[in-house]
């Protein structure tokens, strides 16, 4: 078995190097404004639209950065991962671009659109029951059996560094941000964003945003150690249905983040409707976390310059219609 799991902490320099590696491969996504959003929050908001990234989410950044650093032998044997959808699609596309096989383990209740897209990008898909089966244990067994490299969704320095390049682009394009809000599932995007801010905007205050029903990161910061929760089935934010942060992401978040706040499913649906009606963009529930957190967490951001990373736009159209109608 070959894995990419490492105990090496990523650094701000790793994010800068990842940005160079991703140049010409990842889209430099637009930063949108909304005078209506500014008026609602009494602040200047800058929306980094990773819903317009390749594969429809920021995850392509971390996946490509990790896979691009594999050696020839690892590429020949291929990669595997576990994911509810966005990282699955990202690894599938990155593997295709780098000409290597990919096996993706997805929960059997993953959104149909994400599962279909993963297959269309050329990856083999296997499923598991997220309630009764351990996805990491299954992947480790498959890695041993097939000699493949395991590329986890968040808990690896190359993945974390790649995820941080979205925030890096935003902070370079919009200087002097006072706050930056980032969605939190496995914590890779928040950890990478914190490293990016350390490199180019050390005065910017970063907050992670989790769904209320899956606030393991918030609980971990309060407890001072990693807290593991039951699988959060009740949230619509399927991309943030994590049970616990990993040691790499937790260490960075605990050291550098201002905090983690939460948003309810109702607030996520309101944010999705706002994006659709006023900004004319499709945003998935997890992708709406950062805006919902900035709007409803009770933080005093009036008069501030605020960055919002819209992390993804992959949502089944039937579910999306229901969310907008509710």
Residues forming the active site = 59, 311
3-state secondary structure of 49: strand
Rounded-to-integer distance, Cα 155 and Cα 89, Å:
17
Instruction: Give the pair of three-digit tokens for residue 144.
Output: 């041993």
Instruction: Give the pair of three-digit tokens for residue 44.
Output: 């200047």
| Contact predicate 155/5, CB 8 Å | yes
> Tokens 């509810």 map to which residue?
84
Instruction: Give the pair of three-digit tokens for residue 253.
Output: 């978040």
| Contact predicate 257/208, CB 8 Å | yes
> Considering Cα of 191, then 195, then 201, then 202, what sign does the dihedral take?
positive
Burial letters 148-186, b for 16+ CB under 10 A, else e: bbbbbbbbbbbbbbbbbbbbbbbbeebeebbbbbbbbbb
Among 12, 20, 11, 22, residue whose Cα is nearest residue 50: 22
| Contact predicate 206/256, CB 8 Å | yes
Instruction: Give the pair of three-digit tokens for residue 117.
Output: 């897209």
Spell out the residues 6+ positions from residue 67 whose beta carbon is closer than 8 angstroms to its own: 75, 79, 91, 94, 95, 98, 100, 151
Instruction: Give the pair of three-digit tokens for residue 99.
Output: 């000409």
Burial letters 75-98, b for 16+ CB under 10 A, else e: bebbbbbbbbbbbbbbbbbbbebe
């Amino acid at each position: 078995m070959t894995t990419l799991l490492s105990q090496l902490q990523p650094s701000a320099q790793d994010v800068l190097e990842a940005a160079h590696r991703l140049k010409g491969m990842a889209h430099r996504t637009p930063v949108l404004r909304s005078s209506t959003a500014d008026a609602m929050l009494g602040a200047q908001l800058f929306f980094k639209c990773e819903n317009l990234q390749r594969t429809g989410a920021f995850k392509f950044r971390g996946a490509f950065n990790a896979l691009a650093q594999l050696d020839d032998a690892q590429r020949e044997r291929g990669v595997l991962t576990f994911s509810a959808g966005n990282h699955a699609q990202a690894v599938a596309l990155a593997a295709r671009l780098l000409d290597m096989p990919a096996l993706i383990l997805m929960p059997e209740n993953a959104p149909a659109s994400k599962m279909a897209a993963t297959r269309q990008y050329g990856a083999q898909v296997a499923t598991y029951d997220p309630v009764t089966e351990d996805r990491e244990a299954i992947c480790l067994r498959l890695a041993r059996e097939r000699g493949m490299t395991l590329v986890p969704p968040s808990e690896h320095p190359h993945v974390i560094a790649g995820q941080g390049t979205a925030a890096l682009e935003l902070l370079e394009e919009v200087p002097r941000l006072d706050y930056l809000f980032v969605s939190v599932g496995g914590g890779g995007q928040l950890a990478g964003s914190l490293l990016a801010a350390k490199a180019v905007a050390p005065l910017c205050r970063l907050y992670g945003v989790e769904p209320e029903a899956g606030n393991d990161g918030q609980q971990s910061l309060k407890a001072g150690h990693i807290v593991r929760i039951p699988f959060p089935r009740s949230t619509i934010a399927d991309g943030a249905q994590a049970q616990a942060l990993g040691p790499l992401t937790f260490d960075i978040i605990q050291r550098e983040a201002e905090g983690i706040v939460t948003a309810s499913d109702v607030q996520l649906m309101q944010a999705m409707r706002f994006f659709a009606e006023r900004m004319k963009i499709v945003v998935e529930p997890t992708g709406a976390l950062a805006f919902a957190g900035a709007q409803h967490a009770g933080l005093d951001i009036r008069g501030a310059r605020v960055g919002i990373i819209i992390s993804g736009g992959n949502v089944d159209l039937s579910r999306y219609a229901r969310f907008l109608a509710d």
